Amino acid sequence: MTLPTLWFLIVAFLWTGFFVLEGFDFGVGMLHKVVGRTDTEQRVAINAIGPFWDGNEVWLVVGGAAIFAAFPGWYATWFSAMYLALVLLLVALMARGVSFEFRGHVDAHRWRQTWSWCLAVGSLLSPLLLGVALGNLLAGLPVGSDEEFTGTVADLVTGYGLLVGVTLVALCVLHGATFLALRTDGPVRERSHRVAAAVVLPTALLLLGFAAWTPTLSDAPVVRSVLPPLVALAAVLAAGLLVRARREGWAFGATAVAIGLTVVSLFANLYPDVLVSSTDPADSLTVDGTASGTYALQVMSVVALVLVPVVLLYQGWTYHVFRRRVSGPPADAAPDPAPGPPAPLDEGAVR
């Protein structure tokens, strides 16, 4: 295996890890107003991801940085072409991030609802925009022989890219619902069960369309082009059965497999290209053609070999420490006689 190929696999691993981990965060953000009828219930849903969301977003930063360092030609062309979408993504991520902190600092209904909507909309736009960007890698963008993007904003909206974006949004909703069913208690847990059961069929239909369309854009062998999305589809259907059987841990595992294999399928069908040119296939950007020098890749490989296991161990320990369910106060608990401003987000407990 060549170093450029190895780093293509590392990039695919980082983006897959991001969607598996941040995917349920996005889902909870979209669902917290659906599964939470009261402010306390909404805070239960938000606090379920309190210890995890910021660490999960690091995978996106590292995934982008890995492309920048290992494949500068790919980074320059793709990020330049998707500049507007990238700006919108950053706005969505910032609005979503500050909502976690700002929502509880003023004890006013309008204030909290404003930041709740920022969380919900930011959590919806983020996987949608990222899905469109990833889908366009395989669907193709107007790229010339000089590796320059030659299209317009309209060229960024492709049918396949939109399908990938909507499919990832649906997978995030299902992933988030199973996570809430696993991590919360009381009414939030019960509503999360109902949401998960309700979105299984639409998600499966979107994945079926994804599985049918993706191989038509790729010359990859059948085992790479067809098998991953079909296994992802089977995992979604299995998640639906497991949710109905109240096997919440297994259901969450199944949705993790589904969203992970969907992203894997994109990269598996893309290789050996990294960005397909819709102008002329001969102008497509390739793994070998956009990779950094051998020495740079060697140094990066050593760093990755040391740091990636450390990150995985740390995140695994974090999930172990905060494994208990999140619940609200007892229904018959008396309110404080003189409530003050809510405290900042306390990981694992309701503010």
Q: Does residue 327 sit within a domain?
A: no
What pLDDT is attached to residue 344? 46
Q: Does residue 350 sit within a domain?
A: no
Q: Does residue 335 sit within a domain?
A: no
- How large is the average pLDDT for residues 244-270? 96
- How large is the average pLDDT for residues 27-37? 94
Residue 261 belongs to a domain with what CATH number? 1.20.1630
Contact 100, 154 (CB under 8 A): no
Number of domains in the chain: 1
pLDDT-based confidence at residue 214 (cuts at 50, 70, 90): very high
- Given a cut of 70, is residue 66 above it in pLDDT? yes
Write down the mean pLDDT value for the chain: 90
- How large is the average pLDDT for residues 325-341? 56
Above pLDDT 90, what percent of the chain?
A: 75
Q: Does residue 333 sit within a domain?
A: no
Above pLDDT 70, what percent of the chain?
A: 93
Q: Does residue 281 sit within a domain?
A: yes
What pLDDT is attached to residue 340? 43
- Given a cut of 90, is residue 116 above it in pLDDT? yes
- Given a cut of 90, is residue 254 above it in pLDDT? yes
Q: Does residue 329 sit within a domain?
A: no
Domain with 224 in it: 3-320
Distance CA 239, CA 182 (A): 13
Instruction: Give per-residue pLDDT as tens, 149-205.
Output: 998 889 999 999 999 999 999 999 999 999 999 999 999 999 999 999 999 999 999
Q: Does residue 91 sit within a domain?
A: yes
Cα radius of gyration (the chain): 21
- How large is the average pLDDT for residues 324-334? 66
- How large is the average pLDDT for residues 113-131? 95
Q: Does residue 337 sit within a domain?
A: no
What pLDDT is attached to residue 161? 95
What pLDDT is attached to residue 329? 65
DSSP state letters, 2-49: -HHHHHHHHHHHHHHHHHHHHHHHHHHHHHHHHH-SSHHHHHHHHHHS
State pTM to two decimals: 0.90
What does residue 275 show for φ and ψ, rounded to 5 degrees? -155, 115
pLDDT-based confidence at residue 60 (cuts at 50, 70, 90): very high
Query: Does a cis peptide bond (omega within 30 degrees of 0) precede residue 127?
Result: no
